[in-house]
Amino acid sequence: MARDHGRALNWARSLVRKLTTASADASDVSLSAAWSAGKQSSPIKLLYRRLSALGGQPKGVVVKTMNDWLLQGNGVGAGDIIRFVKELRKYKRFGHALELMEWMDSRGMNMSHSSYAVRLDLVYKVEGIKAAEKYFASFPEPAKNLLTYGSLLNCYCSGKMEDEASAFFEMMMCKKLVSNSLPYDNMMSLYMRLDKPEKVPPLIEEMTARKIAPSDFSYSILMNSYAATKNFDAVEETFKKIEFSGRSKPKWSIYTGLASLYMAADHVDKAEAALKKAEQNLDRGDRQCFHFLITLYAGMGKLEEVNRTWAALKSAFSTTLNMSYLTMLQSLSRLDQLELLEKCFQEWESGCTAYDIRLANILFAAYLRRNMEAEANALMTKLAVWNCEPDFRTMELFIDYYLGKEDMVKALEYMDAAITKAEKDSRGWKPNQLKIDAFLKYFEKEDDATAAEEFQERLRKLETAS
C-alpha cells in the first residue's frame, strides 16, 4: 500500500507528542480503572457519567450540571473533582475540565500545588499563553515549584516558542528544578515540532551525564529523532538498548511508537510485529492503549484488526466513552467504511444522553465527501432535536462542500452562521484566506460592493477580537 512518507512521519511525531503530554499524568490514578476496581462510590460515578456525556457542548453546561447535582441534595469532594478534571483532560475535554476547576474555585475549595499545574495547562489550552503566564504570576510562592514550572515549560514547548522555552528551561536549571526526565522530554518534543531532530540526541546525552534516567517517553522521542533523519539503524539500536537494559519490560507505548515509525518507513511487517508486542504489554485499565492500537491498525489498512481491538476495548470496560467512539469513527472514516461508520455512530447514538458534535462531524465529513447532501441535512436536523449546536468544524465542512459545488448562496449562509458564532465566542476562529478570496470573488462577480465591504468589516472585527 503506497503512502505519503512525510505525512506518515508527521503522524508518528504526533503520536509521540501525545505520549509525551500523557507522561505528565503518568502517576495519576485513572478514574476509569478505579471504578472498574470498585474504588468509587456509585453517586460519584453517576456524576462523572453526567459530565462525560456532555461531549462537545459549549461553556456553561459543566457549571449547570454541577449546580444541578448540588440542588438535588448530593455532595462532591475536592478530590473527586480533581479526578474528574484529570479524566476529562486525558480525553481532551480541556474546556470542560477548566470550567470544572473554575467552579471548584468559586465554591471555595482548596487546590493542591499539583492542581495548580493542571489548571495552568488547561488555561493555556483554552485561553492561550498570555493567560497562562498571567495565571502563573498570580500563584503564591509555595505553588511555584517543580510541577508548576514544568507545566509552564510545557506550554511554551507546545506553542513552539523556542526562545521562551529555552530561557525558561535554563531558569529551571538554575533553580534546581530539573531533577527528572519530564523537562527534557518537553524540550525534545519542542525540537521535533520545530523540525530540529538533530537537537534531541545531545539532550539525552546531557541527561545521562547528569545521572537523570531517560523515561520511556524520552526514548520514544529519541527514536523519532533518528527516524526523522532516516537513521533507522539508530532507531533499532535504541529499541534494543531499551529491551536489554535490565529495566522493567518496555511499556506498550514504546511498541506503538516504534510501530508508527516503521509505518512511516513503509516497513509494514515490522510495524505489525511491533503492534502485536504492544498488545502483549497492554495496560487493560487504560483506554488509551486500545485507542492507539485502533488508530495504528487503521493507518495500516487493517480493518479486521481494528474491529478485533474495538471489540476487546468494549469487553474490557463496562462503559464505552465518547472518546473511544471518536477514535473508532475516525478510524472507520480513514478506512473509507461508510456502512460500518454509520453503524458505529448509531450504536453510540442509541446510548448517548447528549449529542457530541465531534462525533457527528465525522459523519458529516463522510457524507459530504460522497455528495450525500440529503443525509448530511438529516443529521443536521437531528442536532436541532437534541439541542446540540454545530461548531466551527461543522460549519467549515458545509462551507467547503458548497464552495466546491459553486453554490455560493448556501456557502454564504454557513459562512454567515460561522462568523455570527465567532462574534459571540472567545476562541478566535476565523476563515482561511482561500475561503475569504472565494467569497470576495463572488461579491465582485455579483457587483455587490456593499456586501463585500460588510463581509470584510466583520472579518476585521474578528481579527481585532482575537
**Average pLDDT score over residue span 431-435:** 93
**pLDDT for 16-31, tens place per residue?**
444 444 433 433 334 4
**Average pLDDT score over residue span 345-365:** 94
Within 13 Å, how many C-alpha atoms sit on residue 328's CB side? 28
Ramachandran region, residue 389 (left: φ > 0; alpha: ψ -120 to 50; beta: rest): beta
DSSP string across 336-374: T-HHHHHHHHHHHHHH-SS--HHHHHHHHHHHHHTT-HH
Q: Which of 8-12, 111-115, 199-203, 458-462 has the lowest mean pLDDT?
A: 8-12
> Is the pLDDT score of 159 beyond 60?
yes
Mean model confidence pLDDT for the chain: 87
> Is the pLDDT score of 148 beyond 50?
yes
Buried b (16+ CB within 10 A) or exposed e, 234-255: bbbebbeebeeeeeeebbbbbb
> Is the pLDDT score of 249 beyond 80?
no
> Is the pLDDT score of 11 beyond 80?
no
**Average pLDDT score over residue span 383-409:** 95
Residue 97 near residue 88 (C-beta atoms within 8 A): yes
Cell numbers of 47, please? 456524576
Cα(319)–Cα(303) distance, integer angstroms: 23
The CATH class that applies to domain 1-20+180-281 reads mainly alpha
**Average pLDDT score over residue span 440-462:** 93
> Is the pLDDT score of 374 beyond 80?
yes
Cα(155)–Cα(157) distance, integer angstroms: 5
**Average pLDDT score over residue span 152-174:** 97
The whole model's pTM is what? 0.69
Tell me the residue type at 239: F
Domain ranges in the chain are: 1-20+180-281, 287-366
Q: Which of 147-161, 196-210, 246-260, 439-453 has the lowest mean pLDDT?
A: 246-260
> Is the pLDDT score of 2 beyond 50?
no
> Is the pLDDT score of 328 beyond 50?
yes
> Is the pLDDT score of 13 beyond 60?
no
pLDDT of residue 36: 41
Cα(382)–Cα(388) distance, integer angstroms: 9
Burial of 268 (0-12, 13-18, 19+ CB in 10 A): middle
> Is the pLDDT score of 15 beyond 70?
no
Grid cell 456553561 — which residue?
60
Residues in CB range of 327: below 8 A, 6 or more apart:
290, 291, 294, 295
**Average pLDDT score over residue span 340-362:** 94
Q: Which of 231-235, 375-379, 401-405 has the lowest mean pLDDT?
A: 231-235
Q: How far does CA 58 lie from the centroid of its chain?
A: 17
> Is the pLDDT score of 415 beyond 80?
yes
**Average pLDDT score over residue span 362-380:** 97
